[in-house]
Amino acid sequence: MDRRTFIGMTAVIGLSVSVFGNSSATAIVTLTEAQKASLLFMYQEEKVARDVYIILGAKYPNATTFANIAVSEQQHIDAVESLCKKYSVDISKINENKIGEFVLPELQTLYDTLVAKGSISLRDGLQVGVAIEEKDIIDILCVEVGMPADIVKVFENLRAGSMSHLSAFNNALSELK
């Protein structure tokens, strides 16, 4: 068992989880309220990225990086949404189809700030993309600590995607004259 799995299992002891020596046993995991809040945050943070990229992609239609990554961010949203449903995180107040609307005030402010900054110029827009992906990577690393293995696996996949997105935005920045 690796360290991350051990930490994740330790965090949920006493939360109706029992795993004794049988690796094929199915454990029922109940998340803490803090873990549920973290899942909700990540769900909304992925939406922030997608929504910002949709808006900036419309503003800079020749910069295909925004449109390409917005599609990928939708996949990230879908992955975290599945976790929210599995772990009974209330996402009923979130309308994924409403671009630029968020239930968490800090993410509403973040979205508004990023769109304003990204709308100044293409360079600023690409720098916003870099900032979003850097924040996402850091947040994923923080949030996955102590989470069940299935959540960690999804978050690791999201982090790999964010690393790829970060590289794409940095490449687009380096190509600007």
Rg (CA), the chain: 18
Domain contains 82: yes
Tens of pLDDT, residue by residue over 64-91, are 999 999 999 999 999 999 999 999 999 9
Domain contains 25: no
User: What is the residue range of 154's domain?
Assistant: 31-175
Domain contains 19: no
Total structural domains within the chain: 1
pTM beyond 0.85, yes or no: no
Confidence of residue 27 (pLDDT cuts 50, 70, 90): low
Domain contains 24: no
Two tokens, residue 24: 């094929």
Domain contains 8: no
Q: Which amino acid is at 19?
A: V
Between residues 17 and 149, the one the model is more confident about: 149
* Angle at 63 (CA atoms; ends 48, 114), nearest 5 degrees: 30
Q: Can you tell me the distance from the alpha carbon of 69 to that of 168, in angstroms, rounded to the nearest whole number?
A: 9
CB-based contacts of 72, cutoff 8 Å, min separation 6: 161, 165
pLDDT of 36 strictly over 60: yes
Query: In CATH, what number is assigned to the domain containing residue 133?
Result: 1.20.1260.10
